[in-house]
Chain A
Amino acid sequence: MAGATTQLGPHASFPNEASAGARLAVRDVSKTYDTDGASVEALKGCSIEVEAGAFVAIVGPSGCGKSTLLNMIAGFDTVSGGEIYMDGRLVAAPGLPPRAGPDRVVVFQNGALFPWKTVLENVSYGPVRQRTLTRKQAENKAVELLRACKLDAVAGAYPAQLSSGMQRRVEIARALMNEPRVLLLDEPFRAMDSVSKTTMHRHLLDMYRISRKTILFITHDLEEAIYLADSVIVMTTRPAMIKLVISVKLQRPRHPRILFSREYLELKREAAESVHEEARKAFERGEREQA
């Protein structure tokens, strides 16, 4: 992928190559919830191999179990079956207690900035808690990072004082501050208007270009997925299974003008057709009825 192999020198405020993206392997992972005796299958036999530094989008209908998958990778939830590896290291398997870590940080749909902390305190939180930096060092690094993200003007503000787009940018900065090897984004731009969304896309692509993280991006918006990602994984309704993997061979760095290019439109048309084809097949097989 163009994005994964673009050579960029170490950036002053971004981690160097050593801490860039990790390889992520999800092997035959399933998730079953037991609530009041009834077991609900949320995810079934899901296998994804993500190259180091790749940008992968997962698309699926709302409530299909995409977030469940993300929470299992993040170490917030247990897996019922299968294994998850990061750079060959086992991070999740049945019976293993879920363990979250700063190497895979999530940016949530509704945002999870600590409202009682300022932007600067939120961003410097990780390294201070992990004791990898002193508070002073962490704050200096956070200021640098905020400056690189053009957020330095709001460093002293509380999250509630910022627009939702700005909050999400701070959250991405907070995640990057920990030099994660995988960045997990759970529909981060869901509630935004299309103009802010476009701005956020550019920001995220910039961050991706500079930081070279592995990114797993969950969305229900196929166009967004194609515009941002190297490959797009389409999932079915509950129990979520992988229906289709679309490889996006658009050049990086990506610019909004791509959205009007013939390549993009062609890709979008093909993707939409196959997604609709899958949806139609699913409909005919009555799969939605199980949901």
Chain B
Amino acid sequence: MRKTTAPSSKLSSRQPPRLAALTFPAFRLHTWRVNWRGAVSVGGFLLLWELLVRFGGGGFEGIPTLAQVLSTFWNKYLTSDRYWQSWLVSFERVGYGFSLAQLLGIPLGLLLGTRRVFHEVVYPLVELLRPIPPLAWVPLSILFWPTAELSIIFITFIGPFFIIVINVHDAVRSLRKEHLWLARSLGATRGYAFRRIILPALIPSIAVGMTLGIAVSWNVVIAAEMIASDVGLGRLTWEGYVSHTATTVIVGMISIGLAGYLSALVVSYAERRLMPWHKVT
């Protein structure tokens, strides 16, 4: 009996648990910090561009300088409603396409990973369609969809769609069966185990699919906006190309780069919210 008195006396004087006080010290809010090295590298890249075009000669001769691009931007686009509308419209299209890709791609990946017969029937088709560049879909898309807007959204959808399907599919196949076993042995029903064990276990792979997918959505925005559209960052770049205005092309390129970067920030914020257990530092 002597052995048990020590621990039980300690527990008898217990207080109600204070959960807030139990929070692990390493779990703190992410504080925003300026990445000076990154800023220097971007600045260095712009400087290099300016210098190469001015003094590099050779292939650089035809390329506008940074100063020329900035001045075009300042005079032609900064106060142009059409330019800023392009931002909004492109964001909207990419947003629709990307979200649809998640909404349809995640369940398809789940089905492919969990249903054997479904996998045998559908997977070869996915593998056949996957390598087709989104640009190749443009003519058929125009023929099929009743409006240009729908065709555009279809193109921004098809890019990230297969990425998310493959990511989820692979993730389902590499799920750890121990998690499912344990959930079942601890009392979870089959349905509950599916929703609350398989899905959270897939979130990291879904997140990877999202990170890659958002970039691809922006990659295909020019192909998408070639389709009879008067506004959009892709359209702007395309117009710059057909009218041989290199400065406009570069304004479009930088705009798409920035838009993609901003979207990636949003996606990575969403990922952090979805996976609080990941990278808690």
Contact = CB atoms under 8 A, between A and B. Distances in A.
Contact of B26 (A12, A161, A174, A178): A161
A74 B184 CA distance: 11
B183 A144 contact: no
Contact of A154 (B11, B17, B24, B197): B24
B4 to A, nearest CB: 5
A129 B185 contact: no
A13 B184 CA distance: 24
Nearest to B179: A112
A62 B214 CA distance: 45
Contact of B4 (A11, A129, A140): A11
Interface string B194-207: 00010011010000
A236 B202 CA distance: 38
B275 A153 contact: no
B3 A161 contact: no
Contacts of A118: 277
Given A161-B280, A209-B3, A112 B182 contact: yes
Contacts of A108: 178, 182
Contacts of A153: 22, 24
Interface residues of A, number: 52
Interface of B: 1, 3-4, 7-8, 11-12, 14, 16-17, 19, 22-24, 26-27, 176, 178-179, 181-188, 192, 197, 200-201, 203, 275-278, 280
Interface of A: 7-9, 11-13, 71, 74-76, 100-102, 104-106, 108, 110, 112, 114-118, 120, 125-127, 129-131, 139-140, 143-144, 147-148, 152-161, 174, 178, 209-210, 253
16 contacts: A9-B1, A74-B181, A102-B187, A105-B186, A106-B182, A106-B185, A110-B176, A110-B178, A114-B197, A129-B187, A129-B188, A143-B17, A155-B22, A156-B27, A178-B186, A209-B3
